[in-house]
Every structure is written in C-alpha cells, then in structure tokens.
C-alpha cells in the first residue's frame, strides 16, 4: 500500500509539473509566481471525480476507482489542459473546474500585487482560490458561492491541500461586503450584467475581471465626482463558463435566427456580438454592423458601468455604437 501511494504521489507530481511547463510554453504563465502556484497546488485534490460525456451519457471518473485503467484516465484528465465537469444536476452542468490555461490567463490579467485582497465569485472546486491563496496568502482571498454543497466541498478540498481562505455561502451578485474593500474581483461564472455591489466593494484603481457574453471583460474601477465607474475592454480570448446562479436566462439564446445567411451561424465572433447586444439589436441589425465593421474582434468591444446604468460599446464608449445592458443580476445591496 505504501509503495502504491508513493507511486501515485510521484505520478501526480510529474503530471502537475508537466501541465505547468505546457502552460508556460503556451505563454499562459508569464509571471513566475503564478507558475510556482500551478507547480505546487495539487489539482487532483480539488477534482476527486469528474464527468465525461459520450454516446451513453455521462461517465464518472474518480480517483478511488479500483480499476487502474480508469483511475489512470482520471489522473490524466485532471492534469490535462481542459475544463472538467464536476457537478451535474438533472442533466445540467452546474459547476466545473475551468481549463487551466484559461485560468492562468485570467489570473495573469488580474495583475495582483503583494498585499492585494481578492474576491472570487464562484467557488467551484476551490482550485482557483487555492492558486490565489498560494500567491497572496489565505487572509487575502475570499471566495463566494450560492450553493452550500459547492462551498462545503470547496472548503474541504482547500483544507486538504493546506489552504484556508474565506469560503462564504452567499449570493455572488451581492459580493461579500463584510470583508470589503477588495483590490481585485474575479468571477468564474458568466454574467448578463455587472452588479453595482461589486463596484462599491472594489477599491478605486481596482480591477474587476469577469466572463461576459462569450468573452472576458477587464474593468478598471475609478471614483469620480458623479460616483463610481468601471470601464474596460474585452480580452481577445473566447471564454465559456457556467452562468451566474439566480441571474436572468443566459442572453443570446432567446432570439430566432431564421433568415440569416448560413455562413454566420458557426462564426464565433458573430455570436459574441449577438450575445452582447441581446435586447438592443435584432439579429439582422447585428449582422449589418458586423459586416460593416469587417467582423470586429472581441478586443474592440468594451463595457462601461456607472450610477446611470451600464452599456456595451464598439471602439469608443462615447462613439456611435453603444448598447444598454439589461441589469439582470443586481440585488438589494444591503
């Protein structure tokens, strides 16, 4: 039994370091501190099982499987650069462990510094909170999730790996005012709009990074004479996350798309624009803009959030192309 555990520990360490090397080679780990985090934090402790989908539905792979071949598939899957489905309820994915390369790029974009505090919305398995705690220390990190089953398992995983950030069960749209203010807020779930409570809990000159539509928006927070604002552009990378629990139905999936040319149906950038302009442009108006602007990439778009509302825009927040965003996630901030 001892030899078995020693071999597993060696295999897991080798897989972990191999993943970190691959992420660094792909340019996703430019900061040595984040590379050290990916090398040191054992992802397998946060994903004791996951689901794969096939012709027969979902198959569960887990680390305690008595069959060595299936157990090996589990370990290889844990340290592959791929998202992992970790919770399925009534056939619907409700929680996952994100693709490591995307996590690495998001953490790098967060631009944390020693002494910063971070609020994470969406605890998931706890792996991302562990990476943050490795970089900043336990007391600097707060992670929030609406589902008590998710927070309880995340806290167990974190403790098993030797990390103890604050794990809070609560409505992520409200943030966590008891531990505010924060220098950075990062969400690991897709938003239909940016909660104003996050602006109130983020320090001026802070940053909010969140999945939005099918992209990632990076917002700088500033204080003005008229109130607090957040504004920024999308990153170039696509991003697909589980939606914020309790929010409005995901945008971009409710409009009939009949009559559009066949060649745009599978175009990722066109569907990004459709999702971003839900409720403001009909599909044919979106197509006309998309063609007129020669298939604009994600980084040409941005979002502004302020006391008077929030809107998305192309190229310039004061320019001709701007669309109001439906504020579907705000709750009473008290």
Judge whether 95 counts as a catalytic residue.
Answer: yes
Structure tokens at 85: 């489905």
From 18, 53, 55, 95, the catalytic residue? 95
303 three-state secondary structure: strand
Cα–Cα distance measured from residue 205 to residue 220, given in angstroms and rounded to the nearest whole number: 6
> What does DSSP assign to residue 282?
-
Could you tell me which residues come within 8 angstroms of residue 209 by beta carbon, excluding any fewer than 6 positions away?
A: 106, 109, 110, 184, 185, 186, 187, 216, 217, 218, 219
Whole-angstrom distance, CA of residue 252 vs CA of residue 272: 8
Within 10 angstroms of residue 31's Cβ, the number of other Cβ atoms is: 14
Q: Is 203 helix (H, G, I), strand (E, B) or coil?
A: strand
Active-site annotation, residues: 95
């Amino acid at each position: 039994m001892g030899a078995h555990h020693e071999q597993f520990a060696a295999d897991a360490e080798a897989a972990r370091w191999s993943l970190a090397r691959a992420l660094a080679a792909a340019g996703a780990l430019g900061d040595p501190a984040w590379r050290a985090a990916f090398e040191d934090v054992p992802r397998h402790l946060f994903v004791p099982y996951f689901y794969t989908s096939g012709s027969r539905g979902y198959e569960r792979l887990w680390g305690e499987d008595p069959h060595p071949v299936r157990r090996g598939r589990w370990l290889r899957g844990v340290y592959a650069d791929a998202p992992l489905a970790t919770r399925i309820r009534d056939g619907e994915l409700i929680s996952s462990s994100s693709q490591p390369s995307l996590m690495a790029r998001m953490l790098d974009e967060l631009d944390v510094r020693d002494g910063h505090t971070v609020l994470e919305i969406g605890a998931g398995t706890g792996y991302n909170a562990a990476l943050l705690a490795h970089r900043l220390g336990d007391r600097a990190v707060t992670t929030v999730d609406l589902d008590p089953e998710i927070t309880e398992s995340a806290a167990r995983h974190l403790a098993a790996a030797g990390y103890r950030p604050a794990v809070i069960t609560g409505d992520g749209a409200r943030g966590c005012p008891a531990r505010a203010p924060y220098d950075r807020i990062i969400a690991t779930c897709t938003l239909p709009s940016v909660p104003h409570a996050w602006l109130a809990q983020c320090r001026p000159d802070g940053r909010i990074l969140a999945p939005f539509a099918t992209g990632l928006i990076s917002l700088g927070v500033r204080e003005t004479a008229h109130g607090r604002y957040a504004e920024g552009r999308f990153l170039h990378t696509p991003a697909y996350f589980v939606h914020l629990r309790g929010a409005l139905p995901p945008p971009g999936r409710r409009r009939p798309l009949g009559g559009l040319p066949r060649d745009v149906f599978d175009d990722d950038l066109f569907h990004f624009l459709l999702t971003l302009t839900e409720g403001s442009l009909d599909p044919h108006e979106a197509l006309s803009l998309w063609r007129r602007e020669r298939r604009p990439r994600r980084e040409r778009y941005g979002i502004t959030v302020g006391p008077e509302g929030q809107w998305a825009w192309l190229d310039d927040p004061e320019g001709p192309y701007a669309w109001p965003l439906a504020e579907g996630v705000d709750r009473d901030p008290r």
